[in-house]
Amino acid sequence: MNSTLQSFQMLINGAAVDAGSGRTFESMNPYSGVAWALIPEGTVEDVDAAVQAARAALDGEWGQLTGFGRAALMRRLSRLIADRAEDLARLEVTDTGKLYREMAGQATALAGWYDYYAGLADKLEGRQIPTPNPNYLVYTRREPVGVVAAITPWNSPLLLLTWKLAPALAAGCTMVAKPSEHAPASTLEFASLFAEAGFPDGVFNVVTGSTRETGEALAGHPGVDKVAFTGATRTGRAVAHAAAENLNSITLELGGKSAHLCFPDADLEAAANGVIAGVFAAAGQTCMAGSRLIVHEDVHDELVQLISDRAATIKLGDPNLPETEMGPIANAPQYHKVLQLLKVAADEGANVVCGGEPDDEQGGYFIRPTVLTGVSPDATIVREEVFGPVLAVYTFTDESEALRLANASPYGLAGAVWTKDVHRGHRIAASIRAGSVWINGYRAVAPSVPFGGIGNSGIGRENGIEAIDAYTETKAVWVELTGGTRDPFTLG
C-alpha cells in the first residue's frame, strides 16, 4: 500500500468503515495522471449492510421525525456544507480535473439546495377529499417512498448527488449512495458531515467500488424502494432493468446531444459566448453540453469565426489555478473515447476549424477545444454523445428545418434558442423536444427549477417542487363516520 496516498472510508450506519474485503483501489488525478487517493473496494456484503442500516433508520428514529425535525437537520447540514465548501471543492478538482473556479462556486451553492428542500420538508401536506358516500371522511398522506439507491457520476459528484439527496431527505427517505469509481472522494468526505449535523445513524450511507458489481448489487437490491441514477444512457438502461425486477420506481438523468439554434437576427457575440459556455465549460463533460450548433446559413461563417477565435485562446492547464479556463478530461477511458470519436469525424469528412487533437504539452488527459464544420445531420459526431470539448456545426435555411434538425435526435435533455425576436424565441422553445430550453442563454440551473430529459435522456425530474413527488407515495385514508354496518357484498 502506498502510504503517501490519502485514505478514505465508507459510511455505513453512521460509522466510517473500510471495505469488508479489506481491499482498496486507487483514484487517479486526471491533471497529473497519477494516483492520489485510496478508496475502499466495497463488496456485495457492504451493500447489504448499508441497505439494512438505511431500512433501520427509516423504521427508527429518522422515520419518527416530523417534517419540521427533518428541516432543522437539513439546515444544520447546509451550514456545514457552506463551512467546508473550500475543502469539498478542492477534493472535486483533484478527483475530476474540473476547474476550481467552477467547483468553488458549485460547492458553495450546494448549501442552497438543502436550504430549499428544508423549506419544503414541513410542507408535505395531504388533503381532504369529498366522496359520494357521506359516511366517510377521506384524506391523503404524503409518505416517504423508503430506501433510495443513488448511483452518481464522475463529472459533478456532489451536485448530482445533492439533486437526489436533498429532496429525498425532505421527503423522509433514507439513502445508500454509490459514487463513480472515477471520482468517489468528495462523496466520502461529504458523508462525514452527517454525524456532525446530528442525523441519526443510517440515514445516509456510502459504499464505493471499482467494478460494476457494487453498483449492480445496489440497483437490484430487494431492500431498496427506489433507484435514482445519473450517467450514461446505456448504463441507465441496465439500472432500469435491475430496478424493474423489484418493481421499484426510478429517476434516470441520462445523456444528451443538445442543440443551439441560432437565427440570423441573434446577437452573434452573445451566441458565441453562450455556445462556448455550453460545450467548452467543464471540458464538455456535462450531460447538458450544447454540442450541436445549428445555425442559419447566412450567419454560419461569422458565428463559427467568433467561436473558433475564442476557442483557440481558451487557456488549458492546472485546474487549481484561477487563470485556467479548461481542465483535462476526467479519466483515461473517457479521454480515449473522445479521441476515437474525433478520428471517426475526420474519417467521415468533418472539417476541423480548431482543435481536434490532444494537447500533449499539458500532460494528463487534455484535448484542445474543437470546432467541426462540414458535418451532416447523420454524422456520428452529430448523433452520438461525445462528453468532451467538441462542437459540431451545421446549417438550416428556415424555422421548420431548424426544428426538424434540432429534434432529429433520440436525446431530449436541453437546448437553446438565439434570437432577438421574442415571439420566435418562445415559439421555438415550445417546439424543441427537451426538458430544458434556454432563450439567449445556456447552462444555468437552480434548486427551484426542474431538470431532466425525455427519450434517451431519461425519466423523471430532479430539482424543483416536482422532485419531491419522486420520493413520496400518496396514501388514501378512509374513516367510517357512523359506526354502523352495511351490506358486506356491495362496493362502497
* Residues annotated as catalytic (active site), given as ranges: 253, 287
Query: Buried (b) or exposed (e) across 437-473, using 16+ Cβ within 10 A?
Result: bbbbebbeeebeeebbbebbbbbbbbbbeebbbbbbe
- Distance of alpha carbon 121 from alpha carbon 316, whole angstroms: 43
- Distance of alpha carbon 316 from alpha carbon 318, whole angstroms: 7
Residue-by-residue DSSP string for 20-70: TT--EEEEEETTTTEEEEEEE---HHHHHHHHHHHHHHHHTHHHH--HHHH
Q: How many CB atoms lie within 10 A of CB 234?
A: 10
Query: Buried (b) or exposed (e) across 69-103, using 16+ Cβ within 10 A?
Result: ebbbbbbbbbebbbebbeebbbbbbbbbbbbbbbb
Q: Is 366 left (phi over 0), alpha (psi -120 to 50) or beta?
A: beta
Cell numbers 425532505 correspond to what residue?
170
Cell numbers 417534517 correspond to what residue?
67
Under a CB-based contact definition with an 8 Å cutoff, are residues 323 and 365 in contact? no
